[in-house]
Amino acid sequence: MTKGVTRWLYWWDAIEKAGAADFPRLARLAQGNRVATRLVAERWAELAPKQFFEALRSAAKQGNKFSGEFADILFSSWLKKDKAAAIEALNGPENFPERNSWRQQVASTLMDSDPETGLKMMSQWHIENYGPNMKAVESWAKTDPRHAAEFTLGCPAGYASAQALRIIGEAWSKMDPAQALQFATAQRGDLGKSLADTVLKSWAERDLNQAADWLANADLATVKKLSPSFVEAWAKQDASAALAWCQANLAGSTLTESVRDLFNGAAQKDPAAAAALVSSMEPSPTRSQAAAAVADKWFPNTFESKRVPPETIAWLSSLDPDSIRSAADKVSWKWIEADPSSLAAFLQSSTNVTFSMYAYQNLARSMARNDPAAALDWANHLPEQLGMTAGGSAFGEWGVSQFDAALQWYNQLPPSDPRRDPFLTSLLQQLAWDPQAGDRFAQAAALAPSSARSVLKGMALPDDRRAALLALVSPQTGK
């Protein structure tokens, strides 16, 4: 009932005199008041962290969550005073809402000050797709990189482990790269390989000759395993020499993988120069891999909002069909987002290349969202089967977003038009997946009930969804 300074004096007095049993009620009173919330939570975490945790857990189980700030303050305070107790509280056998998010929060906080315990808990709690702050790992790795590597390999935690080993590998490579590689190459699994790759690339970027000498004296299995990472670093300095070495010393899948990574490195530094080097190669699976790697770096990313440079398209068009297909398939998704009109022209003109059907379908859908008429016209100028498939995708997309307009256009097609059946099938398939499209599905199905039933029977729909849609299809006696 009070306001201003008087109200805050009451709050201070209540918090100072409160016992553990008083805090749940004070917490409810504080909701909506950020300052009061923090005062209650800080004092509660100081006096009775275990009881605070139990109250938060009980509230989560009942669906009456306290402010998220309460959990933040509790764990921040508790980990400083008694991290073993905080971890033990989250290690209980009972699952409850918020447990996973609190575990991630605790592991992330631990990583800021105690990477060993942080990685250990991420491994035990199976937190595999989260990347915490790795600043503390840098100091940990510099102190004793071998111990850091051994510990991280012994506590696999998905993405966090991979990030930690990259930092450890770079630190160890600057201190004793030969020892680091001796250790890393003796490890099994992807994490050991990742550590070895990091060490060798870091070494080669600093001293290419020493790294090359070490690799030249390694056993054949190690050469095969580490050649891709080595030539990737080499290519940033001299891509032509790296390519010549690969072609002279490697073969099979090792050659293909190494050339792919080589061009990844070269294209990071100078994509135009890397593209010219691809052009100088003879047609082969290796060249196809190289073309895909360069295209991936040269084509603009979707967030850059740039059109594809004409010289990039001209380079791609000059390659052999296999290399064109490999590169186009690699970048088609971002080419669609960045510059669909140039991709449409490219696919239409490249009649000697068999691209993935998904490239045509995805482009048709994308074009149909902005200009259905242009999408259908583009599809109509493709070779017959490609045009029918791409046109069906465009029409289905149009029908989902502008059903009445799409159906009006469809009804104007002559009965003999070969597009009628495949286009209607595509529309029915798209509508069948939309739980809000029951009326529109029934309207489209009325144009060809037997076709609609065939479409539904051939789709991998949930049984209840299929039954509901079949009930909307008008019966056809004798059919």
Distance separating alpha carbons of residues 139 and 456, to the nearest angstrom = 60
pLDDT tens column, 156-175: 999 999 999 999 999 999 99
More confident residue, 1 or 199: 199
458 in Cβ contact with 468 (< 8 Å): no
The residue-averaged pLDDT of 9-22 equals 91
Helices 449-458 and 463-472: crossing angle in degrees, nearest 10, is 180
> pLDDT tier at 67 (50, 70, 90 boundaries)?
low
Q: What is the mean pLDDT of the chain?
A: 92
Res 63: pLDDT = 78
pLDDT tens column, 415-459: 999 999 999 999 999 999 988 888 999 999 999 999 999 999 999
Looking at beta carbons, which pairs linking 136-144 to residues 24 or more positions away fall under 8 Å?
136/111, 136/112, 137/111, 137/163, 137/164, 137/167, 137/168, 138/167, 138/171, 140/115, 140/116, 141/167, 141/168, 141/170, 141/171, 141/172, 142/171, 142/175
More confident residue, 80 or 92: 80
316 in Cβ contact with 332 (< 8 Å): no
Q: What is the dihedral of CA 276, 277, 283, 288, to 10 degrees?
A: -90
Phi, psi (deg, nearest 5) at residue 436: -100, 5
Task: Delimit the domains of the chain by residue range.
Answer: 1-97, 377-479
The residue-averaged pLDDT of 190-208 equals 96
Residue whose token pair is 């016992």: 19
User: What is 6-40 written as a DSSP string?
Assistant: HHHHHHHHHHHH--GGGHHHHHHHHTT-HHHHHHH
Phi, psi (deg, nearest 5) at residue 339: -160, 70
pLDDT tens column, 299-344: 988 777 788 999 999 999 999 999 999 999 999 999 998 889 999 9
In residues, how long is the chain?
Answer: 479
Return the HEC string of 135-180. HHHHHHHHHCHHHHHHHHHHCCCCHHHHHHHHHHHHHHHHHCHHHH
> pLDDT tier at 79 (50, 70, 90 boundaries)?
very high
Res 479: pLDDT = 41
Q: Which two tokens stand for residue 418?
A: 């070969």
pTM across the whole model: 0.73
